[in-house]
Amino acid sequence: MWARGEKSGIAARQRAAAVAVFTLAVTVFLGVALSSSPRVEAAVTTPGYLHTNGSAIVTESGTPVTLKAVNWFGMETSNCAPHGLWQISLDQGLDRIAAFGFTTLRLPFSNECLRSTAPVSGIEARNPELAGRTPLQVMDAVVAEAGARGMQVILDRHRPDSGSQSELWYTSRYSEKDWIDDWVMLAKRYAGNPTVIGADLHNEPRGSACWGCGDAARDWAAAATRAGNAVLAANPRWLVIVEGVERSADGSTTWWGGNLRDTAAKPIQLAVKNQLVYSAHDYPASVFPQTWFADPAYPANLPAVWDRSWGYLAKQNIAPVLLGEFGTKLETESDRAWLRTLVGYLGENRISFAFWSFNPNSGDTGGLVADDWVTPQQAKLDALAPLLGAAPGPTSAPTTTAGTTAPTTTKPSTTAPTTTKPSTTAPTTTKPSTTAPTTTKPSTTAPTTPPTSTPASGKPSVTWTRRSAWNDGYVADVTVRASGALPTWTVSWADPSAVAVTNAWGMSCSVGGGRITCTGSDWARSLPAGGTATVGLQVRIAGPAPERPVLTVS
């Protein structure tokens, strides 16, 4: 009944024993008996395989189901495992997710991790049963333990390689055939296991990706049809989840993967009927100031925005929609208004969802737990309570050994999308995807007062903030504010310990002469007068990380 090739002691548990363990964990963690918590009690029985009926996702008996999912990322990064397992056990994480009221896990992965035969490292202390496991075997363990709790899993191909996300479904390193072959492998691997219910084929198509344009190199709808049919040939009971694009045929743009305006006119047609779910992503003004956030009618204008981009599919009974990502730190009134309105919209229209994220180390959204990976972010849970079927109020945290602060992964905010046709290399975008750190041992947090450059005439003001640091690396944000139109910009700072910049978003960076030098690129290459962009980088070091470097701006 479990995944083929699974040799995990976790997977070998009998369901009765797993439920008993979960019952005990919830009793200890929440201080209440399982029988007194309806939402936890309901989570011990999976609805089985699912299909669609109009705009509804339904069970095999035809009962409508709303997927109540949360994202737990990390298997798409160089860690090749859900983040936080250096600090909590897999059991603890899944117990928390189930106790919060979620029924489904959206599990991002990369093809690079999927194909790796090297054991996952850095998680053995809290998860000794995962010692020596390959990333694919760790995925097996996540699936097994989620199923033991009555939860289901959506697999999300988040990235081709573990270093960065791609706008198209293929890259020079991972071909379309590699992408489809890996999906077919997973479809076969989990065939017969109703814990895994579907495939989110490619995360956030954007830039040059088009919907139904007929260009085989860019037509995401056509590629999704090819991949979806291959998946269903291997496992006809899976849901095939197809995200939108960034730019519609009329030139309008929205969040990456969030534009499904052309779908009604050019729908996906799969060989197996009633298995297709469309998906979009949506974020608040703190992630990027889309034009609709400045509308005087905000937030009352939001339902019309969502109707145009993706909500119409559900409201007109065309097809089901999964809002596959949405999240916020909930620190501004604008964000709070956005979330209140979105929760009402999703509930009213019975739209399935996947909150971003369980992880606290999503730089611009945070997560559902604090940096200790244990303490609930109660304000967010209270805001989500109407969707989760849980009464607002305190949710106690389980006892765990204190650890270190997690490295931060950032979905940086960007400048406004341009009206020019995006190229295949540099997206004209609105919301970059999470860029994850490559280590598991953070040790310090950001300084409370970040260093800021003093701009000369015509130069931008630049603020540098260290988000996290560990024994051999750190992650920092760089916020650039333009007083006048800024066609290019460069910032540098001394860092004698820097060995290499292992990742950067919104800028191109180099190390030399004891300094790091970064120049704006891609979506943050240029800024309009008064514009602001928050970009970032991850650095590998052989000594102490800088705390307040002096910035040089040009």
pLDDT digits (tens, 9 = 90+) for 505-515: 778 999 999 99
Query: What crossing angle do the helices spanning 135-148 and 90-100 adopt, rounded to 10°?
Result: 40
129 is catalytic: no
Strand partners, 376: 369
- pLDDT: is 105 or 554 the higher one? 105
CA distance 81 to 72: 10
C-alpha distance from residue 485 to each of 63, 416, 419, 460, 553 (Å): 56, 13, 17, 9, 15
Q: Provide the mean pLDDT of the chain.
A: 82
pLDDT grade for 393, boundaries at 50, 70 and 90: low
| Contact predicate 204/433, CB 8 Å | yes
pLDDT grade for 3, boundaries at 50, 70 and 90: very low
pLDDT at 452: 53
3-class SS at 107? strand
pLDDT at 117: 96
CA distance 59 to 239: 12
CA distance 520 to 426: 12
The identity of residue 93, as a single letter, is G
Q: Where are the beta strands (DSSP E) in 335-436?
A: 352-355
Residue 239: name the closest of 98, 378, 102, 56 by CA. Answer: 56
DSSP-H helix ranges across 253-411: 302-306, 312-315, 333-349, 378-388
Active-site entry in 112, 167, 204, 246: 204
CA distance 438 to 335: 30
| Contact predicate 29/396, CB 8 Å | yes
204 is catalytic: yes
What average pLDDT does the segment 268-296 reach? 97
H or E element in which residue 38 lies: helix 38-41
CA distance 100 to 396: 10
H or E element in which residue 136 lies: helix 135-148
Lowest mean pLDDT across 246-255, 459-468, 508-517: 459-468
Rg (CA), the chain: 22
Whether residue 2 has pLDDT greater than 50:
no
pLDDT grade for 395, boundaries at 50, 70 and 90: low
Query: What crossing angle do the helices spanning 90-100 and 15-30 adopt, rounded to 10°?
Result: 70
pLDDT at 416: 32
pLDDT at 528: 85
Cβ burial 302-328 (10 Å sphere, 16+ → b, else e)? bbebbbebbbbbbbeebbbbbbbbbbb
Q: Which two tokens stand for residue 367?
A: 């997560």
**Which residues, in sequence order, are CB contacts of 156 under 8 Å at separation 6+?**
71, 76, 106, 107, 108, 109, 200, 203, 324
Cβ count within 10 A of residue 214: 10
pTM of the model: 0.69
Strand partners, 503: 538
Q: Which two tokens stand for residue 212?
A: 């139904």
CA distance 327 to 380: 9
**Which residues, in sequence order, are CB contacts of 33 under 8 Å at separation 6+?**
27
Whether residue 36 has pLDDT greater than 50:
no
- pLDDT: is 164 or 432 the higher one? 164
Whether residue 176 has pLDDT greater than 50:
yes
Whether residue 437 has pLDDT greater than 80:
no
CA distance 225 to 476: 39
φ and ψ of 335, to 5 deg: -65, -40
Q: Which two tokens stand for residue 412?
A: 């940086």
The identity of residue 79, as a single letter, is N
Active-site entry in 6, 145, 246, 325: 325
CA distance 461 to 90: 43
Residue 544: name the closest of 503, 500, 498, 477 by CA. Answer: 498
Q: Which two tokens stand for residue 210?
A: 């088009």
C-alpha distance from residue 461 to each of 166, 173, 488 (Å): 30, 37, 13
